[in-house]
Structure 1
Amino acid sequence: MGLAVAISGTAFALAFVLTISAPLAAKEPRGLDASSKWLVDFAPNKCRLVRTFGEGEDRHAIFFEQYWPSARTGLSLAGPRFKRFRSKTNTRMKFFDGQEAMPTEPFKGDTESVGPAIVYSSISLSMGAEADQGYAPGAPNNQLDTNFANKVEFVWVRQRGKEVQLNTGPLGDAFAVLNKCTADLVRDWGLNPEEQSKLSRAPVWKNEKEVVRSAVRKYPNAALVRGEEAILRMRVMIDESGTVTDCILNEATVTDKLNSPFCQNMEMAEFDPAIDAKGKPIASYYATSITYRIRD
Structure 2
Amino acid sequence: MRDTYALLVLTASLASAPAGAEVVDIAPSSAWNVDFADDKCRLARLFGEGENRHLVFFEQYWPSEGFGLTVAGPSFDRFRSRRRTELSFFDGQDPQRTEPFTGKVAGFGPGVIYSSAALAPADEVSDEQGDDRTTRLSQLDPGLASKVAYVGIKQRGDEIRLLTGPLDEAFEVLNQCTAGLVAEWGLDFERQRSASRMPEWANMAAVVRRIQKDYPRTALNRGEQGLMRMRVIVSPEGLVEECTIIKATDTEKLESPACDAMQDAKFTPALDAAGQPMRSYYVTRITYQI
TM-score grouping bracket, smaller chain normalisation? 0.7 to 0.9
Structure 1: which amino acid aligns with 2:250?
V
Distance 1:215 1:98 in 2: 41
For residues 94-150 of structure 1, what are the alpha-carbon distances to aligned partners after superposition, in whole Å with 9 as ceiling and x for unaligned? 11111122211101122113121111111111115942632232xxx6100110111
For residues 35-83 of structure 1, what are the alpha-carbon distances to aligned partners after superposition, in whole Å with 9 as ceiling and x for unaligned? 0000000000100000000011110011100000001011001111111
Structure 2 counterpart SS, 1:268: coil
Distance 1:265 1:125 in 2: 33
Aligned partner of 2:38 in structure 1 is 44
Deviation at 1:215, TM superposition (A): 2.0
Is 1:77 the counterpart of 2:76? The answer is no
Please point out which of 116, 120, 129 is paired with 2:114: 120
Aligned partner of 1:290 in structure 2 is 286
Aligned partner of 1:148 in structure 2 is 144
Is 1:193 the counterpart of 2:213? The answer is no
Is 1:31 the counterpart of 2:31? The answer is no
Normalising by the residue count of structure 2, what TM-score does the alignment of the two structures yield?
0.87
Is 1:228 the counterpart of 2:224? The answer is yes
User: Are the aligned partners of 2:6 and 2:212 in contact in 1 as well (CA < 8 Å)?
Assistant: no
Report the identity percentage: 50
Structure 2: which amino acid aligns with 1:6?
A
Aligned partner of 2:160 in structure 1 is 164
Distance 2:88 2:131 in 1: 18
Is 1:56 the counterpart of 2:55? The answer is no
Structure 2 counterpart SS, 1:210: helix
Aligned partner of 1:6 in structure 2 is 6
Structure 1 residues 262 and 279: CA distance shift in structure 2, 3 A: same
Structure 1: which amino acid aligns with 2:93?
Q
Paired residues for 1:228-267 under 5 Å: 228-267=224-263
Is 1:108 the counterpart of 2:102? The answer is yes
Structure 1: which amino acid aligns with 2:6?
A
Aligned length: 267
Distance 1:38 1:113 in 2: 18
Aligned partner of 2:14 in structure 1 is none
Structure 2: which amino acid aligns with 1:262?
A
Deviation at 1:193, TM superposition (A): 0.9
Aligned partner of 1:21 in structure 2 is none
User: Are the aligned partners of 2:135 and 2:199 in contact in 1 as well (CA < 8 Å)?
Assistant: no
User: Are the aligned partners of 1:72 and 1:123 in contact in 2 as well (CA < 8 Å)?
Assistant: yes
Structure 1 counterpart SS, 2:175: helix
Deviation at 1:177, TM superposition (A): 0.3
Aligned partner of 2:82 in structure 1 is 88
Distance 2:139 2:226 in 1: 25
Distance 2:173 2:189 in 1: 15
Gaps of 5+ in 1: 8-28
User: Are the aligned partners of 2:215 and 2:288 in contact in 1 as well (CA < 8 Å)?
Assistant: no
Gaps of 5+ in 2: 8-22, 123-127
Distance 2:106 2:116 in 1: 22
Aligned partner of 1:206 in structure 2 is 202
Normalising by the residue count of structure 1, what TM-score does the alignment of the two structures yield?
0.86
